Structure 1
Amino acid sequence: MTSLLSVKNLSVFYGASAQAVENVSFEVSPGKVTALLGANGAGKSSIMKAVGGLIPARGEIIFDGAPISHFPVRERVRRGIVYVPERREIVGELSVRENLVLGGYQISAAERRNRIALVLDLFPEIASKVDRGAWRLSGGEQQMLAIGRGLMSGPRLLLLDEPSLGLAPLLVRRVFERLGAIRSAGELAIVLVEQNLRMTMRLCDELHFLRSGRIVGHKRADELKDETARQQAVDAYLGATESEPRLETA
């Protein structure tokens, strides 16, 4: 299968010498979910931001057969790459509907209306609050709004950064249920950064393990079906230390 996204020898630096990502390479196929797993500081978010065009990087980023490393964020969004950041970053002063409109700023008004209807159908928890201030939503509802806003432009690749961050277990399950529905609905590809390995396993096809800015291992989801295999992968590839907390496997 031809890759939708191909990342080759990606490196990210902060400042003159601080290297966050070193020569990372991976591919994402259309309609597939690829997870980037690792402890805090492993470089996961830096990779996502580099693919989304939010930070400079070295190496090649090829999307749908074309190099895009020199493209600004706006052009990457136009081509179908959307980044949903950790901690949501919704605009609390605006209503739920207005946040969704922001996500669809590049499409026509008629298409925006259709997309809003689709998002609210996917996330009924926010449908009844569509004209309320976004700051009034719960943490789980804000995460649903952030994902919905990301879907407004009709992306082909959704970059999801820590969607379960700060959420209670029940809300995590709800968010991942909706992500599963999104995945089943079409050819949308997802790159997912997560700490919750068990929930990630329910959604993803491929897993890349990162440590200290490098990919140190790769597994298919079907290779990690049982608890023992999952824990062995975490121990082998991530080697949790006091400064690098173990991934949540429960």
Structure 2
Amino acid sequence: MMNSQPIIDIKNVCAGQRLINFSAQIFAGEQIHLLGANGAGKSTLLEALSGYLPVKGEVFLDGIEIQQYSASQLTKKRSYLPQLVSQIPILKVFQYLELFLPNMTLSADAIFERLCTDFQLEPLLRKSLTQLSGGEWQRVRITATFLQVWDGGQFSGKYILFDEPTNNLDIVQQAMLDKWIKNFCDCLGTVIMSGHDLSHSYKNASSIWMMKQGRLVASGKPDNVMTEKNLSNIFMSEIKLNQNTSNKVWQIINLED
């Protein structure tokens, strides 16, 4: 059950033309998927919610403006997986993951082992990060993202920001990511993530935020907002629901040659 008070309150946030008067509220336990064309402002919004991007307007975390949190306070409250990383650290996998576990406890150690098992990292722990494939590096980054905020069984007020986290993941690892996101949200943690797989978002999201040219143009439960009209609007192309399947599948039609 979600709390009545938002854990994040976004008020008239602007970042040039990338975000324009963006306002919304986020509650404990939500899994919010951001949908929109490339350049719609999804990554900018996630960066603003991480506290790394200075913006006009206000972002409140539990009633306190995000800029009033110290770096150490914010680190315990949220974790953020950006889409791109400019440089890969010269560390071994286990050394990198230990950076996200400053206080090793029996509980933290157990979570570390479970994550490493589920994301198949045990054979990689002694390897250098620079030796990893794209998929291996993504799995390490996802594990670190969970470790940063997974310090107990009650996560209300904590949130994870994922920017296209399924990049480079095979079908098994995508399912494992979904499992951990669901577990986190079931414990009242909150996840906000971007992606491009409409069927995946329809199946997994508790709420959809549709973005176009820096603005929030529709939000709500997948069944209510993932209409052909709304999707065609945000992607600026005619999108139809394929009715010849038991699962919802959207497709683009009438592409110009």
Confirm or deny a common fold (TM above 0.5): yes
Distance 1:99 1:137 in 2: 13
Q: Which residue of 3, 8, 20 maps to 2:6?
A: 3
Q: SS in structure 2 opposite 1:109?
A: coil
CA contact (8 A) 1:53 1:71 kept: no
Distance 2:149 2:35 in 1: 26
Distance 1:206 1:118 in 2: 28
Q: Is residue 181 from structure 1 mapped to residue 179 from structure 2 by the alignment?
A: yes
Q: Which residue of 51, 54, 74 maps to 1:53?
A: 51
Amino acid at match of 1:158: I
Moved more, 180-189 or 19-28: 180-189
Deviation digits for residues 141-172 of structure 1, max 9, x if unmatched? 2222111111122252000001133x36xx1x
Query: Can you give the 5+ residue segments of structure 2 that lack an aligned partner in the other structure?
Result: 151-157, 239-248, 252-257
Q: How do 1:131-170 residues align onto structure 2 when only pairs under 5 Å count?
A: 131-154=126-149, 156-165=158-167, 167=168
Deviation digits for residues 157-211 of structure 1, max 9, x if unmatched? 000001133x36xx1x334312321133222210001122222223211111111
Normalising to structure 1: TM-score of the pair? 0.80
Distance 1:90 1:102 in 2: 16
Q: Which residue of 79, 103, 116 maps to 2:112?
A: 116
Amino acid at match of 1:86: Q
Amino acid at match of 2:166: S
1:244 is aligned to none
Distance 1:62 1:249 in 2: 35
Q: Is residue 234 from structure 1 mapped to residue 231 from structure 2 by the alignment?
A: yes
Q: SS in structure 1 opposite 2:112?
A: helix
CA contact (8 A) 1:230 1:249 kept: no
CA contact (8 A) 1:60 1:69 kept: no
1:39 is aligned to 37
Distance 1:81 1:38 in 2: 24
1:96 is aligned to 93
Residue identity over aligned pairs, in percent, reads 21
Q: SS in structure 2 opposite 1:39?
A: coil
CA contact (8 A) 1:54 1:73 kept: no
Moved more, 150-159 or 40-49: 150-159
Q: CA deviation at 1:34?
A: 0.6
Structure number with greater Rg is: 2
Deviation digits for residues 16-74 of structure 1, max 9, x if unmatched? xxx21111112222121111111111111111111111111111211123222343544
Q: Is the alpha carbon distance of 1:73 and 1:193 closer, same or farther for their aligned partners in structure 2, counting shifts above 3 Å?
A: farther
Query: Can you give the 5+ residue segments of structure 1 that lack an aligned partner in the other structure?
Result: 14-18, 242-247
Distance 2:210 2:33 in 1: 8
Count of paired positions: 227
Distance 2:172 2:63 in 1: 35
